[in-house]
A = this chain, B = another copy of it.
């Protein structure tokens, strides 16, 4: 349902100005380590990082002033003021042509493996958001914000990492949070204490894993509430799940992309944190304190 030629039309006019940023990117590999640090700082806050003084720039990049000077000299400028002048002019030109803002990254040949992959992932995220009912999302937030519930995260061989990611955040925001390994041998005995007050949040995408399904079915049978994050074709777990949040996962790769699942996870973490802020804040501070003590 998406595009043939990767969002084909984009007016190439802008300026055929190679844009300093682009040049830096393409020459990145030829830079020395400290030049790379300078380059990264500049690109990450382009072009504002370069408008400060040499000293400021150097300190923010974590290198010395002379290294900064060498960096701009290497880029072909006669000195730092010359470099800044170029940045200002480029910025002015760019601001005057509103449309030029779009990424000029499609100039290269078929090389942008990363860029085209990113576009596909972004498409997935958009599609994911569109296909989820806000009410469903909110219902899950409410469920996970209930302090009386016990939350268990689990997932398959790839999605297990996402479950861990979720668990590592929720653990800090609230209590009664844990991670369950997918292998039956590891959770069978824990099932005795799973009941009505428990919530299982399962991650499962195609090549659905039988053991995760089994876990959810067992938990459901004992009265637990199951939340499922899956792909649009729905894991069999959907049959026992109270809430289902599907994410688009197809990418130009031999593998599926979990970015949509991560998006949902992070959005849930953000919303629950906000909802529980009164209790979450002291908790987070306490965790922080404990971490610092240990050093």
Q: Report the bound CA distance from A148 to B44 in whole Å.
A: 34
Say which one of A66-74, A129-137, A192-200, A215-223 lies at the interface with B.
A129-137
A111: chain B residues within 8 A (beta carbon): 134
A280: chain B residues within 8 A (beta carbon): 254
B244 and A40 within 8 A (CB): yes
B164 and A131 within 8 A (CB): no
B135 and A28 within 8 A (CB): yes
A98: chain B residues within 8 A (beta carbon): 101
B91 and A234 within 8 A (CB): no
A91: chain B residues within 8 A (beta carbon): 48, 91
| Selected contact of A271 from candidates B88, B113, B133, B264, CB within 8 Å | B113
**22 residue pairs from A and B, CB less than 8 Å apart:** A25-B131, A25-B132, A25-B134, A28-B136, A37-B234, A44-B246, A62-B234, A103-B129, A112-B134, A113-B137, A117-B270, A118-B263, A118-B267, A122-B126, A125-B125, A165-B258, A253-B273, A254-B274, A255-B266, A255-B273, A259-B259, A259-B263
